[in-house]
Chain A
Amino acid sequence: MIPGGQFFQQIVNGLTVGAVYALIALGYTMVYGIIELINFAHGEIYMIGAYVGTIAAALLLGAGLPATAAIPLAIVAAAAITGLYGLSAERIAYRPLRKAGRLAPLISALGLSIFLQQYVLLAQGARDKVFPEEITSSGFTLGPVRVAFVQVLILAVAALLMVALQAFVRRTRMGRAMRCAAQDPVMASLVGVPVDRVIALTFIIGSALAAVAGVLVVMYYGKVNYLAGYTAGLKAFTAAVLGGIGNIPGAMVGGLFLGVVESLAAGYIGGEYKDVVAFVMLVVVLIVRPQGLLGVRVPDKI
């Protein structure tokens, strides 16, 4: 393969993976922005989204629907059902600990992460869950670069969701309420924002985005298992920190950046080095620019 061709191939692959990281990273960053909690169960939420989407797709295809209808419906179903998982997680594992300092909710998050893993293991078994429709192989070539249709789908869906999320946060009443609650929850209450409901909504949106990422990934790789949330969660968390935790455009940029760097490392150094490069980059960014690529140093609250 021509070196230039390989370069562009890795960029395309990297953007695909990066778009997925970005979608998951949004959930980390939105939750952190509003309650300063690293939701370590978020990777498992993504994994559950992948399962729900896979099961929904199998049911819909089994019912005779064409793939062009079954797959979008499965994505929507995964987002909705996983959103409810996120809502329940907040109610059960985090809300009771809202006033308990920072350590207790963090431990609760780790516990929830283990619980969700084992729950899926018991309910679905240890074997890989395979996506019912073979779609990875079809695609087209663009000069030396091979692009799978599913990659186009991933990039398109991710771009659409990010634009929609930005519009929601910037332009709508609840979006503004979310930004206020993130800046100063007490003052948000004093203007009448129902802060608890805004927090719940944040969990629902973050979980739904992770679920969509989950379904897209199963379609890309063809399968998922109950441990899939661990690495994906860690990578997406890295992406969120790279971009500046708490910062929504930062999570998007961080995700894409991480995906591309990882992919180039896999192409030029070797696949086994991609995680090394990803986490070395995290360490370097934390040393040189601790607030992240797009983060601003937020002065202490008065």
Chain B
Amino acid sequence: MLELSGVRANYGAIEALKGVDLEVKKGAIVTLIGSNGAGKSTALMAVSGLRPLSSGRITLEGEPIDGLPPEAIVARGVVQVPEGRRIFTRMSVRENLLMGAFLRRDRDGIARDLARVLDLFPLLRDRLKQNAGTLSGGEQQMLAIARALMGRPRLLLLDEPSLGLAPSMVKAIFDIIAEIRTEGVTLLLVEQNVNRALRIADDGYVLATGAVVLHDTPSRLLQNEDVKRAYLGDE
């Protein structure tokens, strides 16, 4: 569905991606792991059209999308939940959700999807009128994912969805990721919770200093000595 080939991109003065090749198959959950500064977020920002490529190609179902403005990429069904959630704190929860559907014009469909995401995130239902800035970290993450779903994504890019959350919230977020997949959404997941990410994913890539150093099935990556030492810690 999504393919990156030879993608190079800069982050400020440094080259953050040094020729990344990556493929996300339709309907799969693919996880991208690696330490801080490995280029994971830059890769997602490049897919979303917010980080220009210096060379390489990004295609969605065979069609190049690099060079398109971000709104055109959202319009093609590629929606990102960025790191740090970035909810609109000076707007209500409801307005945040409606902003997720900004490019859609089907009023009925938007109303149906609003009901659907509120079923998926019942916590948000009681807070629709509340200012989004007053939500807790976990609730904000739920709102960020719900907002992305309001855009009817075909491919959802999730950047560190569990970062900084309480363990119970982490579990809830991963349950929701599994749920979203059953609805036919393809996912590219960047996570520092490598263990959980690999347990849910169908395919895994390890990124180090801007390049893919490992690509394997999650079960093999979980057994890989280098991965264990670098990312899994002593468990």
Contact = CB atoms under 8 A, between A and B. Distances in A.
Interface of A: 173, 176-177, 179-180, 183-184, 186-194, 302
A186 B79 CA distance: 13
In the A-B complex, the 4 residue pairs with the smallest Cβ-Cβ separation, listed nearest first, are A192-B74, A189-B70, A192-B103, A187-B86
Nearest to A187: B86
A187 B87 CA distance: 8
Nearest to B89: A183
5 contacts: A189-B71, A190-B79, A190-B82, A193-B99, A302-B86
B71 A193 contact: yes
B180 to A, nearest CB: 17
Given A183-B90, A184-B86, A191 B48 contact: no
Contacts of A191: 74, 79, 99-100, 102-103, 147, 151
Nearest to A299: B89
B75 A192 contact: yes
B120 interface: no
Contacts of A189: 48-50, 69-71
Contacts of B151: 191-192
Contacts of A184: 86, 88
A191 B86 CA distance: 11
A124 B36 CA distance: 61
A244 to B, nearest CB: 13
A4 to B, nearest CB: 43
A302 B48 CA distance: 19
A167 to B, nearest CB: 15
Interface in B80-133: 80, 82, 84, 86-91, 95, 98-100, 102-103
Interface in B43-59: 48-50
